[in-house]
Structure 1
Amino acid sequence: MDGNGRWAESKGLPRLEGHREGAESVRAITTAAREVGIQALTLYAFSTQNWGRPRGEVLGLMDLLRTFLLQEKRTLLENDIRLCAIGETHRLPRRVRKALEEVEEASAGGRSMTLTLALSYGGQEEIVCAARELARRAKEGELDPEAIDVATFQGALWSGSLPPLDLCIRTSGENRVSNFLLWHMAYAEIVVAKELWPDFREEAFFAALLEYRQRERRFGLTSAQIRERSR
């Protein structure tokens, strides 16, 4: 969800207007993803580094987030979509946490798709937090350090319940992952879209999906091995 501020500035508008327009892209892409049968969609809504932005912009973003959650509650329920959040959500203002908890609880039974919002989230911070938790459990005798494997470590992550990440779409033409789902990026395909997030709508989304479908995912194997397995 990158490029909201630049979109607004390019049009001579306050940065917050870019975030408002970006919320429309969230609605459009969530609907499109559900309609094509995507079962899990994760959106990078607010990073841990975003707390360092101007105070007025952060406060505006928090108000926008609360409004969005409350407005979209009915739509999520009507479309059987479950909403989840990952990140240091305890850092969010109380009014935002209350709205988030309300929608998470109400939509917990959603089965058509899981929409995960990464809020006050950072991939490095997530991995450090998981390492600390496993170290604590090992120190207290709850966990044998030699028993820690990939599954154990992933289970300690905020995002541990997410399915394998197939595709990461990076908007605004930036060629970096910006501290997003670093653990899950191991074998994810990355598609870079030129559109700023407020301009990223259904057509651009479907183009990214088409590019993904044309990729050969090898997971460390050779093309010949992949072809043999597909027979």
Structure 2
Amino acid sequence: MYLLEFCTAGDRSVGRERLVYHKAVYDLKLFAATYGHEAQVTEPEIDNLGHDFTLSIGRDTLNIQNKAAIRPGGATSWDIHAAHLVPPFQDRDIGPDVDGVPLFWPEGASGVVLLHEIDRDAASAGVLNLRYFYFDVYYAAAVAHGIVEAEDLSPQAALDLLRKLRDCKSASDRVTVPKAAFLPVKSPAAIIGLRLGVPQATNYVSLWRRGDGFEAWTVEPFRTTVRNEIMSWRP
């Protein structure tokens, strides 16, 4: 019963977030180590850019924001810094297609949101049981373009979310991301698998590369490859 109180009390929100954060960090480091890599985790000195930690493997880095909710109950949407999600200018050639134009910002970070969902019934029995959900613009684009089907997110809803990100006016603007927009994943390691190329190289982001009139996301073999990569992380 004490664990349930810890997971629901308003004055324990910081401690609760740190608890699920450290569990996720352990899972990330263990997954990387299993494939012979060292995962490094750092936290921002000043919390003003919309991410909670940076995950690095080798010279590849990724900014990640944590969100936590308890089920049943709890929050069903979250306000996320637009600049955290949108790809930066230097990655404009792999910005997801939104109405025929690549999505990117000068101050973008191309980051990830990791949702930690706490099972209320398990917590009442003193057990911390978590489910994980993943969101980034590349997943939203995959749904919007019909590459993958989401249970609760229609292609039109995914496209509308991408348009809201595109139409933000400043880096401090936020966009509400509903629970339905998140991809259920087996573990936080989906972050490494989809975005940092461990245990193998991934086409998840490079699908959106364009050049010389070629658009990979319109070609079925590439679409199938990315669809399989995404679905491999579903529970």
TM over 0.5: no
TM-score, normalised via structure 2 length:
0.28
In proportion to residue count, which structure has more strand?
A: 2
TM-score, normalised with respect to structure 1: 0.28
Q: Which structure features the higher share of helix residues?
A: 1
